[in-house]
């Protein structure tokens, strides 16, 4: 069964969202008296009893707490250039499955897609929904936060205190060479768009303004942006024990 989340702490009887109620009652055919597991916004998971159904609504009462929020050894942040078509949707889904904590969509200089303020808000809401669905599907106890779309200089300003890892096609130092330094603590993986990074205004800017910044290679082949995101993220999460 897929994970059920609430956006509030569970403290007593509560009502499922319309989407979750439909899934639990119609798709899974649960009824009053059945037990299901629900994770709340604090990361705690409860065994819950379906106590009442009213039309398309379902009301649950927690019977006992199964687990608390897991303590991690830091957060992996994925900052990625916005991609065209549904490629960024795919990155959101797979990064969620791999355990990323935060995803920052970045409007970079060589992005093919250019979003105005209205489209940025709509995309962020869509991406957050996709992250929620992916978290439910893969059984995570939390949902990664999707930040608002930002530009590269604002990304650097906001995360300059975090260690940056930037896969770059002109680099020869392998990603594995820095893995021992990023096994714990917060780390930001920065991936360029289809058109690649702008060397002067993005790579050089990060190296000058981030206290710990490493450009690395993902091998001899030039990877598509969405492939690079998942290849690099998989290596980093493996080295961190997928925590």
**Tens-binned pLDDT, residue by residue, of the chain (243 aa):** 567 999 899 999 999 999 899 989 998 899 999 999 999 988 899 999 999 999 889 999 999 999 888 777 899 999 999 999 899 999 999 999 999 999 999 999 999 999 988 889 999 999 999 999 999 888 888 999 999 999 999 999 999 999 999 999 999 999 999 999 999 999 999 999 999 999 999 999 999 999 999 999 999 999 999 999 999 999 999 999 987
Report CA dihedral (237, 96, 82, 175) to the nearest 10 degrees: 10
In the chain, the domains with their CATH numbers are 4-67 (2.40.240.20), 76-239 (3.40.1280.10)
Cα dihedral sign, 226-229-232-236: negative
Calpha distance 219→49 (Å, rounded):
51
Calpha distance 49→39 (Å, rounded):
14
Calpha distance 5→39 (Å, rounded):
5
Cα dihedral sign, 124-130-136-140: negative
pLDDT at 71: 73
The string over 34-63, giving b where at least 16 C-beta atoms fall within 10 Å of a residue's C-beta and e elsewhere, is eebebbbeebbbbebbbeeeeeeebbbebe
pLDDT at 69: 80
pLDDT at 1: 58
Calpha distance 135→130 (Å, rounded):
9
Write down the pTM of the prediction: 0.89
pLDDT at 85: 85
On the 0-12 / 13-18 / 19+ scale of CB atoms within 10 A, 94 is middle
pLDDT at 70: 78
The string over 152-186, giving b where at least 16 C-beta atoms fall within 10 Å of a residue's C-beta and e elsewhere, is beebbeebeebbbbbbbeeeeeebeebbeebeeeb
Is residue 81 a contact partner of residue 224, using CB atoms and an 8 Å limit?
Answer: no
Task: Give the helix/strand (H/E) hosting 122.
Answer: helix 117-138
Per-residue model confidence as pLDDT tens digits over 96-136: 999 999 999 999 999 999 998 888 999 999 999 999 999 98
Q: Is 22 helix (H, G, I), strand (E, B) or coil?
A: helix
């Amino acid at each position: 069964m897929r994970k059920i989340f609430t956006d509030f702490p569970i403290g007593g009887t509560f009502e499922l969202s319309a989407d979750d109620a439909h899934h639990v009652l119609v798709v899974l055919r649960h009824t009053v008296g059945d037990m299901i597991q629900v994770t709340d916004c604090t990361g705690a998971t409860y065994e819950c009893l379906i106590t009442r159904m009213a039309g398309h609504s379902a009301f649950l009462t927690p019977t006992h707490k199964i687990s608390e929020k897991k303590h991690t050894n830091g957060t992996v942040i994925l900052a990625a250039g916005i991609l065209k078509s549904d490629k960024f949707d795919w990155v959101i889904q797979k990064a969620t499955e791999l355990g990323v904590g935060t995803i920052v969509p970045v409007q970079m200089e060589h992005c093919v897609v250019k979003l105005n303020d209205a489209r940025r808000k709509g995309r962020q809401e869509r991406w957050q929904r996709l992250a929620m669905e992916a978290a439910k599907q893969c059984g995570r106890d939390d949902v990664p936060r999707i930040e608002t779309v930002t530009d590269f200089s604002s990304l650097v300003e906001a995360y300059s205190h975090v260690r940056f890892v930037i896969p770059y096609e002109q680099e020869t130092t392998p990603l594995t060479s820095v893995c021992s330094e990023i096994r714990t603590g917060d780390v930001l993986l920065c991936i360029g768009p289809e058109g690649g990074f702008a060397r002067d205004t993005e790579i050089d800017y990060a190296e000058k303004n981030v206290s710990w910044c490493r450009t690395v290679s993902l091998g001899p082949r030039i990877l598509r942006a969405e492939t690079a995101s998942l290849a690099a993220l998989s290596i980093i999460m493996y080295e961190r024990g997928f925590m």
